[in-house]
Amino acid sequence: MNNTYRINPMEIKEMVALARKAQKEYQATHNQQSVDNICRAAAKVIYENAEMLAREAVDETGMGVYEDKVSKNRGKSKGVWYNLHDKKSVGILNIDERTGMIEIAKPMGVVGAVTPTTNPIVTPMSNIIFALKTCNAIIISPHPRSKKCSKHAVDLILEAIKPFNVPEGMVQVIEEPSIEMTQQLMGAVDVVVATGGMAMVKSAYSSGKPSYGVGAGNVQVIFDSDIDFEDAAEKVIYGRSYDNGIICTGEQSVIYNEADKDAVFAALRKRGAYICTEEEGKKMRDLLFQNNGPINKDVVGQGVQKIAKMAGINVPEGSRVIIVEANGVGEEDVICREKMCPVMCALSYKYFEEGVDIACRNLANEGNGHSCAIHSNNQAHIILTGSKATVSRIVVNAPSATTAGGHIQNGLNVTNTLGCGSWGNNSISENFTYKHLMNISRIAPLNPAIKVPNDQEIWEL
């Protein structure tokens, strides 16, 4: 690899100084077309190296599923580029025909992006592309347990965009990340994007800089009675087992009508779910949340057989997920919390509104503001869920794991950073994307052609 873009270890202040210089040059020399060419190249190189990067991520982190990481690398790179390819982000964005107001895009400056070990390739990629799309420089602070594969992804992007005269220092990565360096970075840049654990997100919000963080995931899934249970079961189990359940959009709880229990459980078993006995469920709780504490880090991103062995239960070969029947709702049963592995819980309701209430109570305990899913053919029930659930995304009749983070067909921005609104102590209640890294200047002349109504006319409106 050409060493032009290799940044030797340096102090954060030096990295930020280099980034500021590069950002000014980039903004001065690139128009919308050249910016889009750069973003396309950055996304395409991850797509083209999806298999290699997936292997490196699994080997370094010891979490997840190789095949799923390949599909994630390809799907996210395609989706991000597809979403951004025709969006304005440089210069004049819009001229209002009625008022004559002109909106002009401005970069924020230098972005500090903290990325997680659970998504060590696609999160740096998407944040880099969002920054480049809006003429911002960016410094990536990867998780220490995935620093090598994250740095390799950044290096590949740097090599891919080099032919487009991107200034040195426009994209940088901390090669030996630490908590101290990450905190220094967050305090030195112009805006922070924090994707990962809640302690790190809280630190970002305490940095004194504008910050975009994420909330905890705990996706609740409601089964209506008017559905094909086998189809819904396949989508849910696919989502829960995807990448061994490490992504925040993965399904966590199946909430079903008690009258449908036999049919629902039969469908789940047919599609590869192992449903625990009461004693096995107790063992699973003890493994996942020892002494009702935080999730056991040793189970995160591990496969069904390994988790079952750790819990001391026997699960048939070919099982895709483990399901534990909950003994309560929300804080009444620890199994209702987020489980970052292919384990789910199941709860029943007597009438649909109660099912929505169960989902909300689980979310209030953990995961408020994030996402939920519903499998239904009843539009009234779908709207009711969207109206009542305190979440930023409601996935309908699809795997939440692979669509809540954005999909070409559902209108959600493709991203790896999912805002959870005030419910999750976040500043945005939508999928983070390029527009959140733009300042907009508005030129606002008075248009004499617009008649100003008198007081009486205004109060008659």
Active-site residue, selected from the candidate residues 39, 135, 149, 248 = 248
Which stretches of 142-267 are assigned E, i.e. beta strand?
Answer: 171-173, 191-194, 211-212, 219-223, 251-257
Q: Examine the residue annotation and report whether 248 is marked as an active-site residue of this protein.
A: yes
Asked if residue 291 lies in contact with residue 248, where contact means CB atoms within 8 angstroms, the answer is: no
Neighbours of 160 (CB within 10 A): 20
Alpha carbon distance 173, 43 (integer Å) = 17
Burial of 185: CB neighbours in 10 Å, binned 0-12, 13-18, 19+: buried
Angle between the N-to-C axes of helices 50-61 and 32-48, in degrees from 0 to 180, rounded to the nearest 10? 60
Phi, psi of 430 (to 5 degrees): -155, 175
Which stretches of 224-358 are assigned E, i.e. beta strand?
Answer: 251-257, 273-275, 321-325, 343-349
Place of tokens 């420089």: 137
Distances 303 to 31, 248, 442 between C-alpha atoms, Å = 47, 17, 52
Nearest to 325 by CA among 380, 255, 272: 255
Sequence-ordered list of residues with C-beta below 8 angstroms from that of 195, at least 6 positions apart, any chain: 113, 114, 115, 116, 119, 123, 127, 213, 214, 416, 417
Q: Secondary structure of 183-208 in the HEC alphabet?
A: HHHHHHCCEEEECCCHHHHHHHHCCC
Nearest to 11 by CA among 171, 129, 185: 185
Alpha carbon distance 378, 356 (integer Å) = 14
| Token digits of residue 228 | 């094909």
Angle at the Cα of 46 from the Cα atoms of 121 and 249, rounded to 5 degrees:
45
For the chain, the 3-state helix, strand and coil shares in percent, each to the nearest 5, are 45, 15, 35
| Token digits of residue 439 | 């300042």
Q: Catalytic residues, which ones?
A: 248
